[in-house]
Structure 1
């Protein structure tokens, strides 16, 4: 595009901006002023360059292209992650139907799969899934073997699941031989009074440390 062509486009943009200003429904439209500002920028750019506009050498256009490409990559990554979460949620649903969920070790990202199952259920808490994650977190199974995963769980799981896990871990330290079925009350307490259950877990942990 030459300087003269850009100047003509700028004049057109000014014309349409004047037309739009006469209509209330178009006066607040931001596209017109943005287009006008862009043509003004291009005309000024050509005035300083050799008179020929090439978008491939326009730093602003190149920055926009880089930003658009990065945004597209983020959308694709989000779509891939959404698909992965949906597949894992299907796996967990199949395992629970088979009665094998409690024998399964959690993987990285299962917190998102838990959220997907809850969403599919219309927001209702999935007690068996929450209990499974709490027990795995308390016993440090699957990806919860790593401290980083356990720390991350604090921001990925709801308070009742976290307090359930903390209470189970504290009880297991006090009574190592206790069976999971003997501590069903831990989940009930965590669901009903998560803050109180968390305080109880902290108290039991302190009592255990003082006895050591």
Structure 2
């Protein structure tokens, strides 16, 4: 994560904190201060580091230290830790989206839960660009998706990934943007797109 991305994520976190402070049921959310404090620490860390230094949220220990100080039961502590990590990663992806750099994000474990968190923050509306990013990663076996890791991905995302993988196999030289129609098809007719992907498995590339 770059200093610009971290600063953008901090801005999103501060905006959310201001918005949530207006609602009584959200004002006492114990996760928010930990998330905001973590982003402030990351921004300061990168500001003090040599230019070009990056940061990987997975290596940070502040969230774990804060949760370790919690006197709640072990099960609650683990649940809270996971929630914070999901929220931090959601802020990271949101910051990259605002920078127009989502495609640069390396997929990793927990992306499926982050997708649900971003959808929740959007009031339940599906984030098409995030679904497209996930489907492309799954179709190209990138990062976390080098192995079987479908997890909580929805049928349209799975259908898009399957169809995209088969189209890329049949037309290896096609650019990813040339196959954008597959996303539209799977959004409106996920079952039909899945059936088409299965049918294409029997096709052979032209020689």
Which category describes the TM-score, using the shorter chain as reference length?
0.5 to 0.7
Superposed displacement of residue 186, structure 1: 0.4
Superposed displacement of residue 105, structure 1: 1.8
* Counterpart residue number, 2:127: 126
Alignment of 1:167-206 (within 5 A): 167-206=163-202
* Aligned-partner Cα distance in 2 for 1:73–1:199: 45
* Aligned-partner Cα distance in 2 for 1:206–1:96: 37
Which of structures 1 and 2 has the bigger CA Rg? 1
Query: What is the number of residues matched between the two proteins?
Result: 136
* Counterpart residue number, 1:4: none
* Counterpart residue number, 1:116: 117
Task: Give the match's secondary structure for 1:99.
Answer: coil
Residues 1:106 and 2:107 are matched in the alignment: yes
Gaps of 5+ in 2: 1-71
Task: Give the match's secondary structure for 1:107.
Answer: coil
Alignment of 1:34-53 (within 5 A): none
Superposed displacement of residue 72, structure 1: 2.1
Instruction: Render the CA deviation track for 1:176-204: whole Å, top value 9, x for unaligned.
Output: 01101111110001110000000000101
Please report the TM-score for the alignment, with normalisation by the length of structure 2.
Answer: 0.63
Please report the TM-score for the alignment, with normalisation by the length of structure 1.
Answer: 0.61
* Aligned-partner Cα distance in 1 for 2:131–2:199: 23
* Counterpart residue number, 1:75: 76
* Aligned-partner Cα distance in 1 for 2:130–2:204: 29
**Which stretch of the first structure deviates more once superposed, 80-89 or 97-106?**
97-106
Superposed displacement of residue 80, structure 1: 0.3
Task: Give the match's secondary structure for 1:208.
Answer: coil
Instruction: Render the CA deviation track for 1:16-58: whole Å, top value 9, x for unaligned.
Output: xxxxxxxxxxxxxxxxxxxxxxxxxxxxxxxxxxxxxxxxxxx
